[in-house]
Amino acid sequence: DAKTTQPNSMESNEEEPVHLPCNHSTISGTDYIHWYRQLPSQGPEYVIHGLTSNVNNRMASLAIAEDRKSSTLILHRATLRDAAVYYCILRANYGGSQGNLIFGKGTKLSVKP
């Protein structure tokens, strides 16, 4: 699975939008972009995933660059509950991969009231 690069940490104010970037310049055509987050003392939680088109769900939006070498997770209005470590993960979609997630260090998001 290709490697991703994220900032170590970011800060946001409550009720403001947050843009969490992820670079994946070596992404292959079969890689899906997944985002998970881990709240303190909890297991990771799926946030969103996409391939080429931008995606929206109740938690967040995922904006994918046209060349797919980068993506941005968008939280439209940060709340204190969104303080977590956010992981950007590439998952290959082919038989050679067993589908396990490869976690990097992620971005630690702090939300200020």
Partner 1 sequence: NAGVMQNPRHLVRRRGQEARLRCSPMKGHSHVYWYRQLPEEGLKFMVYLQKENIIDESGMPKERFSAEFPKEGPSILRIQQVVRGDSAAYFCASSPPGSRYLYEQYFGPGTRLTVT
Q: How far is the CB of 13 from partner 1 (least distance, A)?
A: 26
Q: Which residues between 42 and 101 bind partner 1 (CB under 8 A)? A: 42-46, 49, 87, 91-94, 97-101
The piece of 3-11, 21-29, 70-78, 102-110 that touches partner 1 (CB under 8 A) is 102-110
The piece of 4-12, 15-23, 37-45, 71-79 that touches partner 1 (CB under 8 A) is 37-45
The β-bridge partners of 111 are 12
Q: How far is the CB of 52 from partner 1 (least distance, A)?
A: 14
CA–CA separation, 46 and 62 (whole Å): 13
CB closer to partner 1, 13 vs 54: 54
Residues engaged in binding partner 1 (CB under 8 A): 32, 34, 38, 42-46, 49, 87, 91-94, 97-106
